[in-house]
């Protein structure tokens, strides 16, 4: 491959890469078995990632020092009894629960509180409520539904067994109707079950996608085998290394994201393997021998792969700058995975090419076309002159067509991005589950008898000296809160629950009181977050109207936590997105010795992210009428799409910068785009296909993420890299290389005959 830059340091650098390539090929019979042995050793000698050490759950999404958690801890100390339960038993019968059934539910809870119940020592307390006579706030029906909130002792390990025993012993029986369990704790456990069931299917499907697409692209049986084996080696080593990082470096790798890590690793390995495979095949078509072809392809691709890998690693590591602990802890783990993948890619894959040579593409045998003189420049020119890719690239580098293509492409991406105006973000702990799962069924049953917010009310704690004596003001405040938009009902000092005294809402010292605000929607969903934010904003005015202007207010519960997560995710989405784009721009600027072209490429990546998330919003909100984004979906999609887009930027524009050494600029754009598009299209399609397999996980968030990545990667591959980038560089001309004069030294265009 011709030198891409006349700068004096570039020949030395390429000479160093050439020496690396020669050493890799010379040691090929040692490198391949060495990696296999390392992977086997890691698999058998190091512990795998285990759910007990990696599954983090909803509680770890925010810091333990977060205001809602501190408020909840303070409330337990002040009132002596918790009021927020993570597990709720639901009884529902559309024809009505008999009075005997409701009495049994209430009596069981009272007996547990007063005397304890045999075999249920893990349960510390139970609070029952019913919608009998429709008197309870937020009741939607009369006498159809009963709820029992369960509170567990600290350190209890048999929570699921105790819950099941309680339900079978005291809630089941003739005419008891439906009985189920729900709540954040139960829902998180069910999410883990769904992921564990889906993970093997996702892995197999992703492997099949890669084998089929890479095999068809190269018309080979061995090329996809090399790709899959290299991915397997990287996976086994990464998994074991991550476990050591979890144990010794306190890096969290949430078990809920196991499928994402698997697909990410397989996609990265496929990307870089395709780059090497395509480069080697081009060298064989140019007339190089097997050994010379491997050396030249490694020399030409190595810098791109390493730079691209560093860009992806830096992009995912940027996640650590996010304000939420889940994101902050996840970044280093993903960066480790990417680094190991790059190391395997630049050693194992070239060594395999050196061993198998032309047989890599069996049964196809790449060979130079008859009458074609040797040399990559001739191959590039030929690629631009023939075939569909050549026809497309020759068309888009014509200025009138470039203007039209760029205008239509940008307009289409902006149209997709405009759908983001309908987007909303929630935590969606239960809503993320399929409707057929027990927690989702129990939540649906509870929502028929009460407002959905009844499953996880928000605790509002007021602190002020002697506040408990202000009964009139406290009752007035409870009435004002209940009239706020989105508030279905409020429990407080004026409320009397069956079997419970006023101590639930009034602290023994009289200096604190608390309310339970029940919202009209799913407690961890986007609408409940908006309802809570509205109540929190209005609270200072409500306190003044009630005559309690100096009371200190704190909020606890799943909805305040969800608000913290959602608002933090929105902030992180902007901050981390800008930082990722800045890193992408800096790496491209260094690689291309330009400021203008990287700016265009980064802008294109930002449009891809916005369009893909807009399309996902349209499908899930406008078409399927489901809940909005789960909080981590837009965040993860943004970082990965920008990072992978940088891969293709480096591969495509790097080729263009090399071609200008021997071709006129427009012809260099056309030739390089046609030459690079095969590898980019193959890698991008395989990557999109592997991420699409995440839709096999039966959680709504994974299906959102799968669609966002699938749409974004296809747009990036077939619209941005094939049309928008060549069109933009054509219109910019030599200005694209500013301040470097590399493009100014491009060969002049030949005179028109």
* pLDDT on residue 254: 62
pLDDT exceeds 80 at position 1: no
Stronger pLDDT, 70 or 323, i.e. the higher one = 70
Q: What is the pLDDT of residue 49?
A: 59
Which helix (DSSP H) or strand (DSSP E) does residue 700 occupy? helix 700-715
341-372: burial string, b at 16+ Cβ within 10 Å, e else: bbebbbbbbbbbbbbbebebbeeeebebeeee
Please answer whether residues 148 and 88 qualify as being in contact, where contact means their C-beta atoms are separated by less than 8 angstroms: yes
Predicted model pTM: 0.89
Pick from 503, 509, 508, 512: nearest CA to 462: 512
Give percent above pLDDT 70 in the chain: 87
User: What six digits make up the tokens of 582?
Assistant: 């800045």
Give the pairing of strands 487-491 and 512-519.
Answer: antiparallel
What is the residue-averaged pLDDT of the chain? 84
pLDDT > 90 in the chain, percent: 40
- Do the beta carbons of residue 559 and residue 467 sit within 8 Å? no
At 498 the pLDDT is 54
Average pLDDT over residues 431-440: 91
pLDDT digits (tens, 9 = 90+) for 51-71: 444 444 445 567 778 889 899
How confident is the model over 732-736, as a mean pLDDT? Answer: 89
13 vs 125, which has greater pLDDT?
Answer: 125
Instruction: For residue 204, give every residue at least 6 positions away whose Cβ sits within 8 Å of its Cβ, in sequence order, or none.
Output: none
Domain 438-562: state its class.
alpha beta
CA atoms in the 13 A half-sphere facing the CB of 371: 1
Check if the beta carbon of residue 637 is closer than 8 Å to that of residue 613: yes
Q: In the numeric block, which tokens belong to residue 685?
A: 């399609």
Residue-wise pLDDT for 377-434, tens only, equals 444 444 444 566 667 777 888 889 999 999 999 999 999 999 998 888 999 989 999 9
Is 281 buried (19+), middle (13-18) or exposed (0-12) by CB count in 10 A?
Answer: buried
Position 609 scores a pLDDT of 95
Higher pLDDT, 725 or 384: 725
Of residues 708, 722, 634, the one with CA closest to residue 676: 722
Give residue for tokens 């339900």: 167
Nearest Cα residue to 109 out of 514, 513, 483, 498: 498
Write down the pLDDT at residue 113.
73
Mean pLDDT across the stretch 218-242?
A: 91
Residues of the chain with CATH 3.30.70.1320: 438-562
Range from 327-341, 424-438, 473-487 carrying the lowest mean pLDDT = 327-341
Beta strands per DSSP E along 577-670:
629-630
Q: Which one has a higher pLDDT value, 377 or 711?
A: 711
Q: Helix axis angle, 438-449 relative to 184-218, nearest 10°?
A: 130
Q: How big is the CA angle at 365 (ends 360 and 367), to the nearest 5 degrees?
A: 120
- DSSP for residue 324: S
Distance from C-alpha of 376 to C-alpha of 679, rounded to nearest angstrom? 16
Q: Would the pLDDT of 567 be above 50?
A: yes
**Confidence at 137, pLDDT banded by 50, 70, 90:** low
Q: Which of 609, 599, 593 is nearest to 654 (CA)?
A: 593
Residue 123 has pLDDT above 60, yes or no: yes
State in Å, rounded, how far the first CA of the chain is from the last one. Answer: 30
How confident is the model over 524-530, as a mean pLDDT?
93
Q: Provide mean pLDDT across the span 210-230.
A: 94
Q: What is the pLDDT of residue 134?
A: 56
Q: Can you say whether residue 273 is alpha, beta or left, with left for phi > 0 and alpha for psi between -120 and 50 degrees? A: alpha
Residue-wise DSSP of 721-742: IIIIHHHHHHHHGGGGGTBS-T
pLDDT tier for residue 500 given thresholds of 50, 70 and 90: low
Give 387 or 610, the one with higher predicted confidence. 610
Per-state percent for the chain, helix, strand, coil, to nearest 5: 70, 10, 25
Cα–Cα dist 605/253, whole Å = 27
Residue 53: closest CA among 260, 240, 264: 240
Alpha-carbon distance of 521 to 510, in angstroms, equals 32
Which residue is associated with the tokens 């602990």? 325
Mean pLDDT of 114-120: 73
Task: Give the whole-angstrom CA distance, residue 195 versus residue 263.
Answer: 14
Lowest-confidence segment of 42-46, 107-111, 365-369, 460-464 by average pLDDT: 365-369
3 state DSSP class of 40: helix
List of residues 6+ apart from 177 with CB closer than 8 A:
91, 92, 93, 94, 95, 97, 101
pLDDT for 11 equals 53
pLDDT at 173 over 50: yes
User: Residue 368 gets which letter from DSSP?
Assistant: P
> What does the radius of gyration of the chain's CA atoms come to, in whole angstroms?
31
Q: In the beta sheet, which residues pair with residue 88?
A: 149, 182
Backbone φ and ψ of 463, nearest 5°: -120, 125
CA separation, residue 79 to residues 110, 237, 405, 502 (Å): 19, 51, 67, 11
CA distances from 194 to 255, 256, 308, 652 (A): 12, 10, 34, 40
**CA 615/CA 597 separation, integer angstroms:** 27
pLDDT at 751 over 70: no
Contact between residue 269 and residue 230 where contact means Cβ atoms under 8 Å apart = yes
Q: Which residue has the higher pLDDT, 307 or 715?
A: 715
pLDDT tops 80 at residue 499: no
Q: Of how many residues is the chain composed? A: 753
Interstrand relation of 425-426 and 629-630 (parallel, antiparallel or unpaired): parallel
- Taking only the tens place, the pLDDT of each residue in 670-697 is 888 888 888 899 999 999 999 999 999 9
Low-confidence winner among 156-160, 239-243, 346-350, 360-364 (lowest mean pLDDT): 156-160
More confident residue, 151 or 613: 613
Residues forming a β-bridge with 516? 459, 491
With 50 as the cut, is the pLDDT of residue 7 above it?
no
d(CA 22, CA 464): 77
Cβ–Cβ < 8 Å for 276, 350: yes
d(CA 36, CA 33): 5
- Topology of domain 87-182, per CATH? Alpha-Beta Plaits (3.30.70)
The residues pairing with 150 across neighbouring beta strands, listed in sequence order, are 87, 126
State the Cα angle at 584 between 582 and 586, rounded to 5°: 70
User: Of 55, 201, 53, 61, which Cα lies nearest the Cα of 698?
Assistant: 201
């Amino acid at each position: 491959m011709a030198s891409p830059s006349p700068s004096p340091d570039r020949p030395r650098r390429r000479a160093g890469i050439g020496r690396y390539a020669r050493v890799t090929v010379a040691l090929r019979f040692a490198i391949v078995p060495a990696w296999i042995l390392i992977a086997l050793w890691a698999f058998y000698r190091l512990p795998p990632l285990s759910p007990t050490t990696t599954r983090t759950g909803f509680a770890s999404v925010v810091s333990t020092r977060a205001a809602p958690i501190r408020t909840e801890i303070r409330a337990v100390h002040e009132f002596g009894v918790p009021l927020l339960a993570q597990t709720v038993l639901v009884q529902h019968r559309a024809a009505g629960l008999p009075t005997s059934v409701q009495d049994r539910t209430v009596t069981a809870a009272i007996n547990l509180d007063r005397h304890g119940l045999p075999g249920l020592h893990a349960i510390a307390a139970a609070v029952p409520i019913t919608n009998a006579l429709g008197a309870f706030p937020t009741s939607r029906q009369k006498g159809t539904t009963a709820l029992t909130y369960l509170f567990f002792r600290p350190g209890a390990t048999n929570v699921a067994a105790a819950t099941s025993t309680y339900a079978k012993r005291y809630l089941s029986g003739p005419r008891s109707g439906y009985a189920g369990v729900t709540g954040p704790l139960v829902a998180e456990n069910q999410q883990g079950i769904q992921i564990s069931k889906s993970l093997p299917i996702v892995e197999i499907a992703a492997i099949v996608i890669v084998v089929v697409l890479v095999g068809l692209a190269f018309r080979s049986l061995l090329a996809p085998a090399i790709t899959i084996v290299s991915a397997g080696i990287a996976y086994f080593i990464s998994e074991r290394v991550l476990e050591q990082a979890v144990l010794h470096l306190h890096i969290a790798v949430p078990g809920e994201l196991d499928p994402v890590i698997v697909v990410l690793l397989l996609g990265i390995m496929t990307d870089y393997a395709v780059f090497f495979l395509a480069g080697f095949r081009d060298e064989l078509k140019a007339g190089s021998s097997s050994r010379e072809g491997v050396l030249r392809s490694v020399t030409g691709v190595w810098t791109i792969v390493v730079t691209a890998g560093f860009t992806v690693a830096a992009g995912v590591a940027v996640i650590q700058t996010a304000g939420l602990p889940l994101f902050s802890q996840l970044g280093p783990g993903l960066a480790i995975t990417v680094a190991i993948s790059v190391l395997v890619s630049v050693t194992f894959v070239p060594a395999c090419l050196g061993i198998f040579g032309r047989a890599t593409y069996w049964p196809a045998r790449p060979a130079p076309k008859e009458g074609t003189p040797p040399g990559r420049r001739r191959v590039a020119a030929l690629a631009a002159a023939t075939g569909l890719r050549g026809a497309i690239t020759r068309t888009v580098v014509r200025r009138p067509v470039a203007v039209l293509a760029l205008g239509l492409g940008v307009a289409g991406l902006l149209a997709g991005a405009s759908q983001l105006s309908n987007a909303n973000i929630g935590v969606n702990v239960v809503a993320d589950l399929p409707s057929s799962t027990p927690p989702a069924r129990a939540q649906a049953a509870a929502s028929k008898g009460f407002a959905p917010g009844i499953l996880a009310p928000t605790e509002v704690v007021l602190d002020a000296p002697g506040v408990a004596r202000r009964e009139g003001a406290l009752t007035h405040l409870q009435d004002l809160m209940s009239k706020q938009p989105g508030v279905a009902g409020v429990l407080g000092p004026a409320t009397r629950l069956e079997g419970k005294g006023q101590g639930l809402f009034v602290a023994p010292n009289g200096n604190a009181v608390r309310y339970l605000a029940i919202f009209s929607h799913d407690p961890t969903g986007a609408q409940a977050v908006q309802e809570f934010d509205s109540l929190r904003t209005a609270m200072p005015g409500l306190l003044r109207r009630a005559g309690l202007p100096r009371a200190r207010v704190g909020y606890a519960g799943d909805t305040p936590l969800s608000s913290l997560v959602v608002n933090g995710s929105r902030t992180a989405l902007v901050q981390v997105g800008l930082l990722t784009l800045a890193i992408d721009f800096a790496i491209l600027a260094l690689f291309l010795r330009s400021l203008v072209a990287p700016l265009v490429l980064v802008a294109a990546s930002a449009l891809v992210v916005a369009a893909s998330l807009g399309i996902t919003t349209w499908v899930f909100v406008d078409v399927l009428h489901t809940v909005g984004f789960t909080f981590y979906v837009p965040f993860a999609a943004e970082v990965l799409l920008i990072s992978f887009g940088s891969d293709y930027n480096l591969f495509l524009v790097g080729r263009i910068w090399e071609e200008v050494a021997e071709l006129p600029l427009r012809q260099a754009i056309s030739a390089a785009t046609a030459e690079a598009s095969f590898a980019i299209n193959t890698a991008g399609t395989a990557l999109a296909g592997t991420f699409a397999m995440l839709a096999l996980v039966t959680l709504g968030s994974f299906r959102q993420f799968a669609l966002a990545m699938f749409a974004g990667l296809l747009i990036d591959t077939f619209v941005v890299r094939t049309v928008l980038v060549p069109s933009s560089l054509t219109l910019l001309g030599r200005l694209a290389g500013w301040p470097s004069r590399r493009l100014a030294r491009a060969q002049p265009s030949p005179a028109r005959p």
